Amino acid sequence: MNFGYDDIVRINNALDALIVILCEVRAFAPMYNFDSTIEEEIRKHLKTVQDALNLTMEKIGLEKPQERKKIGVKIIDFTGILFITVSSSTRRKLLDLGVDPRFVVLTGGPLDAMDVKSLNPSISDEALETVRRKVEGVWRDIERKVSEAKRILVLAEKDNKGDLMVTEKADEIQKRTGLKTFVKTFSSLQDLSGEFFEEFLGDVNV
C-alpha cells in the first residue's frame, strides 16, 4: 500500500501540531506544571494530530484492534486456514481479526525470483541470488506450516502486481502442499472484515 499525496499532507499537518506541542511543553520544563489553559491547548493540538492521521493509519492497517471491536467487527473461526499474503499490512489486519500468526505466511514479494526480475529488470545478479534464497525460504515456510492446516487462502490486493504474481502460483502451492488453495482479491485493507471472510469462506465450505 503506497502513500498518496493526501497522506503526506496529513502527516505534515500532524508534525506541525506536534511541533507546536513541543514548543509549549518546553516552556514549562523541568516541572511541567501546566495550567488549565495550556492543557486545553495541548489537547486541541493532539486532537489535530489524531484527526490528521486517522485516515492514513486506517489505510495502512495500523488502527487499534479495540477500535474495530467498537464498530462491531464479527469474529469468525479461521481454524485450519493457512493465509498467504505479500503485505505486512495485510498480515497485521489478519492478526487483528483473530487469525493465529502461526497460520499466516508473509512472502514479502513474488514466489518466483524471475517474477521479481520482471518487476525490477535492473536488479543485479547478486541481488537476484539473494532474492532466490529468500523465495526458497518462503516456500519452506509454507510447506512447514501446512501440517496443521486444512486449506490455503492466498490474499492479494487487486492493483498490486507483486500480489497478483503470487496468486498465479496458486496451482503450484496446491501441488507442493497437497492442500486445496483458494485465491481472494481485495481493493483495500478496509475490505478485510469479518463479513468479507465469512461470506467467502462459507462459499468454499470452510
* Cell reading at 27: 516552556
Q: What is the mean pLDDT of residues 143-167?
A: 91
Q: Which three cell numbers stand for residue 190?
A: 478496509
Residue 61, pLDDT score: 65
| Cα 113 to Cα 134: distance, rounded to the nearest angstrom | 9
Cβ neighbourhood burial of 168 (10 Å; 0-12, 13-18, 19+): middle
Residue (of 40, 42, 52, 49) closest to 21 by Cα position: 42
Query: What DSSP line would sit under 139-171, residue for residue?
Result: HHHHHHHGGG-SEEEEEEETT-HHHHHHHTTHH
The set of cell numbers assigned to 133 is: 534464497
Give percent of the chain with pLDDT exceeding 90: 35
Mean pLDDT of the chain: 83
d(CA 181, CA 195): 20
Q: How confident is the model at residue 205 (pLDDT cuts 50, 70, 90)?
A: very low
pLDDT for 167-191, tens place per residue? Answer: 999 999 999 999 999 999 998 888 8
Which pLDDT score is estimated for 50? 85
pLDDT for 98: 85
pLDDT above 80 for 142: yes
Residue 54 in grid coordinates: 486517522
φ, ψ of residue 157 in degrees (nearest 5): -80, 130
Residue carrying C-alpha cell 493457512: 82
Residue 87 has pLDDT above 80, yes or no: yes
**CA distance between the termini of the chain:** 28
Overall average pLDDT of the 106-122 stretch: 91
Local confidence band at 199 (pLDDT 50, 70, 90 cut-offs): low
pLDDT at 52: 81
68-203 fold = Dna Topoisomerase Vi A Subunit; Chain: A, domain 2 (3.40.1360)
Task: Write down the pTM of the prediction.
Answer: 0.62
The string of pLDDT tens digits covering residues 20-73 is: 888 888 887 767 777 777 887 888 888 888 888 887 777 676 655 444 444 444
Q: Is the dihedral of CA 190, 157, 169, 93 positive or negative?
A: negative
The pLDDT value given to residue 200: 63
pLDDT at 34: 72
**DSSP alpha helix (H) spans, 60-188:** 65-70, 88-96, 113-119, 125-145, 161-167, 170-177
Name the residue with higher pLDDT: 4 or 158: 158
Q: What confidence score (pLDDT) does residue 138 get?
A: 92
Distance CA 164, CA 85 (A): 10
pLDDT at position 195 is: 79
Spans of all domains in the chain? 5-60, 68-203
Percent of the chain with pLDDT over 70: 86
